[in-house]
Chains A and B, each alone.
Chain A
């Protein structure tokens, strides 16, 4: 008789899915607006955007909530990208992308981007100056 326990996903699988799917969801919810406003409407001059001028960009980046938001966005997004690009290479026939060294390179790369983001956020428009 089935107790239902065997049907539950493994914890590691759950954790892995959490990181990957959180990144995917965050990018899905937030990135199009950033690209549209900062990459297209702002440069074309259709709307004023904070990053077009030093003063407004500096003061926005000085907000601790903005720093926290950007750190979470970059950390989750790059973990998601690392995973997807690794599997893209596997699907293109590069089986070495499955290996442990490849995993270290890709997820380590995402960790490096996260640390660089943290460093940039702490040194750009610092909270205590």
Chain B
């Protein structure tokens, strides 16, 4: 099979895009690790990343990361099967719960990052 098989069809392309999203997300998290490690150095030398290139990179990573979230959390309805009182929970309800958890988790993360900036 030619290595360009995934460019032939929109669904294949979306699948590859989803697989590829791990690359920018991993790179961003390595940057995150550097930011954590920098807090171990002297206070006077601490410079957080903030260049226009870094912000542009973050915008691209955010798009990939949102794509991962939407596709992966939607998949949860297919993967997870629960029974309540011996009746299966509808997959749509599971997906809805996952998106609800995403909202709550995002608010908590953002709140902690902003609250501790004071």
Please tell me if B93 contacts chain A, counting CB pairs below 8 Å: no
In the complex, which range does the number of interface residues on chain A fall in? 35 or more
Report the bound CA distance from A103 to B48 in whole Å. Answer: 35
Interface footprint category on B: 35 or more
Report whether B117 and A52 are in contact in the complex, using a CB–CB cutoff of 8 Å.
Answer: yes
The total of Cβ contacts below 8 Å across the A-B interface reads 174
Contact B39 A54 (CB under 8 A): yes
Say yes or no: B109 contacts A48, CB within 8 Å.
Answer: no
Contact present for A54 and B72 (CB under 8 Å): no
Bound complex: CA of A61 vs CA of B106, how far in Å? 19
Pair A78/B29 contact, Cβ less than 8 Å: yes
Contact status of A38 and B113, CB under 8 A, knowing A27-B68, A120-B36: yes
Residue numbers of B with Cβ under 8 A of A are: 1-3, 6, 16, 19-20, 22-23, 25-26, 28-30, 32-33, 35-37, 39-40, 43, 46, 48-50, 54-55, 57-59, 61-62, 65-66, 68-69, 72-73, 76, 79, 98, 101-102, 105-107, 109-110, 112-114, 116-118
A residues near B, CB below 8 A? 17, 21, 24-25, 27-40, 42-44, 47-61, 66, 70, 74, 77-78, 80-81, 84-85, 87-88, 91-93, 113, 116-117, 120-121, 123-125
